[in-house]
Structure 1
Amino acid sequence: MSNKKNETVIIKRYDEAGGHAHHGGGWKVAYADFMTAMMAFFLLLWILAASDEEKLRGLANYFTPTLSDSGAASDAAADLRPLTAPGVMTGGVENTGTIKAPSFGRDNPMMVFDSRLRDRPAEVIVEYADEPEPSKTPDPAKAEDPSNPADVLAAQEADTRRREIDRMAEEIADRITSDAGLRDLARNVRLEKSDGALTVQVLDQDERSLFETGSSEISEKTRKLLEAIGGVIASQSEPVEIVGHTDAATYDAATGYSNWELSADRANATRRMLMEAGISSARFMRISGVADTQPINTMDLFAPENRRISIKLLYQAE
């Protein structure tokens, strides 16, 4: 039997300064980087949530792919042009040219991830045109005399006209929002009421284009929308004016076809659709195209709402 008292005892000591890898401080640096990235991410979300639609659109336009006139990529703000082939308008036809324009979020990139620019309830916008300010020094010769039968009759006619314009605007709005097939196009319609006319603005909105790009060919949904509007107007007898509008995007000068021709062609295409809806050709007083000279959005001349058709129902000669 061995004597345990005489056995050699070996004691192992470890240098605590070294430690093991997972006890080191490297993970703290990685964690700090992660928290910094998360802080920047939530700061970005807060900025997007606090910004209005105009600022969001400007931010989206800043990151939109662009080309210089020479065809090379450009980072100079004064030299930016929409990414498209020469001779094709902004958001050109997909199979035209050698440059493939992005289609995802093309008309309004911010709509892709901002629910405030998306998912809006169907609603036809009704606006009231600004009335001319009355003169500060009324002309006694033109002042209405309540005892004058002519003045009383004029006031009654004006009141009847206003009520009829209100009724027509409401009927057009109800016709569009009550149709499941047209409800998603409600935001493409803007009704403007004045004392002597009702103007129906049918405009591009976000990714809902009314016409084929650079063409007067009417899309199928626009056709149904114009048929619905024409069906309501056909029951009236007032004269009708149609004006075509475009944005500031232009063609190659060599083609000889400009926004003037395009806006006029779209106005005439709209006239033909309204005639198919039952409006007599004798009611059309004027069909014209004004190109990009009367934009709705003056801050962004390429904005989709500048591409529109104005259908004016005249209740009083201007």
Structure 2
Amino acid sequence: MPTRKTGTWKLAYADFLTALVAFFLLMWLISGVSKEDRAVIASEFTGKPATVSVTASEALSDAARLLAMLELSESLKAAGDSVQLSADAQGVRIELVDTADRPLFETGSGALTETGAALIRAAGASLAALPYTVSIEGHTDAFSMAGTASSNWELSSARANEARRLLEASGFGTERVVGVTGYADTRPLSAGQPHLAANRRISLQVHLAD
């Protein structure tokens, strides 16, 4: 009588389990690889060059790195509460704000105080060596300018242009300024609190890409 090979199914089952474990191990390894790295790995098998796209989350990651860099700026740190930094999808916003003990502007005027001028220069020095463009925004609080023919629109525009002139005079390239806008009191820092002193400010929007 022929000999029955009763252990054959065990070998097949063992091969199946080995393949299954290898599959799950591969899936686990791939789950920890970024989208860009997966594209590079796929290109090794297909022979096609990897295509890497910059998504909104990646742009925000770049903004976070720029934010961390600016937070290390000694001149900006020295300004204390007069400087507020934040990252967004466009890049980084630098808010240079008016405080009770450190006003940025002369009362009811677009002219910068010595403190305001120093803040603009500090921001310019921090950005000078970086390859990014900047939009400049001027803002006011919600108090009207009694006794004058000008409105907060003219005032905020004058403040934005004063900041632009000082940035350029400090060596910041004219070609890197892509916008100068006055927003009056329409964009308060804190919604519902348009009369705060901090709303009297200059905002520098640093753009990571055009």
The letter of the residue matching 2:39 is: S
CA distance in 1, matches of 2:98, 2:195: 11
The C-alpha deviation readout for 1:65-118, integer Å capped at 9, x for no partner, is: xxxxxxxxxxxxxxxxxxxxxxxxxxxxxxxxxxxxxxxxxxxxxxxxxxxxxx
Residue in 2 that maps onto 1:150: 51
Native 8 Å contact 1:246 1:292 kept in 2: yes
1:170 to 71, 93, 104: 71
1:239 to 133, 158, 161: 133
Native 8 Å contact 1:161 1:196 kept in 2: no
Could you tell which deviates more after superposition, 215-224 or 156-165?
A: 156-165
Distance 1:159 1:206, change over 3 A: closer
Alpha-carbon offset, residue 159 of structure 1: 7.9
Q: Helix, strand or coil for the counterpart of 1:313? A: strand
Q: Helix, strand or coil for the counterpart of 1:225? A: helix
CA distance in 2, matches of 1:301, 1:206: 16
1:188 to 62, 65, 82: 82
In structure 1, list runs of 5 or more residues that go unmatched. 1-143, 178-182
CA distance in 2, matches of 1:175, 1:255: 36
Alpha-carbon offset, residue 223 of structure 1: 1.2
Native 8 Å contact 1:161 1:195 kept in 2: no
Alpha-carbon offset, residue 263 of structure 1: 0.1
Q: Helix, strand or coil for the counterpart of 1:191? A: strand
Native 8 Å contact 2:59 2:91 kept in 1: no
The reply on whether 1:262 has 2:155 as its aligned counterpart is: yes
The reply on whether 1:302 has 2:195 as its aligned counterpart is: yes
CA distance in 2, matches of 1:305, 1:195: 23
CA distance in 2, matches of 1:200, 1:312: 6
Q: Helix, strand or coil for the counterpart of 1:251? A: coil
CA distance in 2, matches of 1:166, 1:299: 27
CA distance in 2, matches of 1:209, 1:296: 16
CA distance in 2, matches of 1:273, 1:157: 33
Q: Helix, strand or coil for the counterpart of 1:261? A: helix
CA distance in 1, matches of 2:170, 2:129: 10
CA distance in 1, matches of 2:39, 2:131: 32
Residue in 1 that maps onto 2:178: 285
The TM-score with structure 2 as length reference comes to 0.70
Distance 1:299 1:224, change over 3 A: same
Q: Which structure has greater helix proportion?
A: 2
CA distance in 2, matches of 1:164, 1:299: 31
Q: Helix, strand or coil for the counterpart of 2:129? A: coil
Residue in 2 that maps onto 1:228: 122
Q: Percent identity?
A: 31
Residue in 2 that maps onto 1:133: none
Native 8 Å contact 2:60 2:91 kept in 1: no
- Pairwise mapping of residues 15-164 of structure 1 onto structure 2 (< 5 A)? 146-147=38-39, 149-151=50-52, 154=54, 158=59, 161-162=62-63, 164=65
Residue in 2 that maps onto 1:62: none
Alpha-carbon offset, residue 248 of structure 1: 0.7
Alpha-carbon offset, residue 158 of structure 1: 4.1
Native 8 Å contact 1:234 1:277 kept in 2: no
The TM-score with structure 1 as length reference comes to 0.47
CA distance in 2, matches of 1:250, 1:159: 37
The letter of the residue matching 1:166 is: L
CA distance in 1, matches of 2:111, 2:85: 24
The higher radius of gyration belongs to 1
Report 1 or 2 for greater relative contact order, CA contacts < 8 Å, sequence distance ≥ 6.
2
Structure 1 runs of 4+ off > 6 angstroms? none
Alpha-carbon offset, residue 229 of structure 1: 1.2
Distance 1:313 1:255, change over 3 A: same
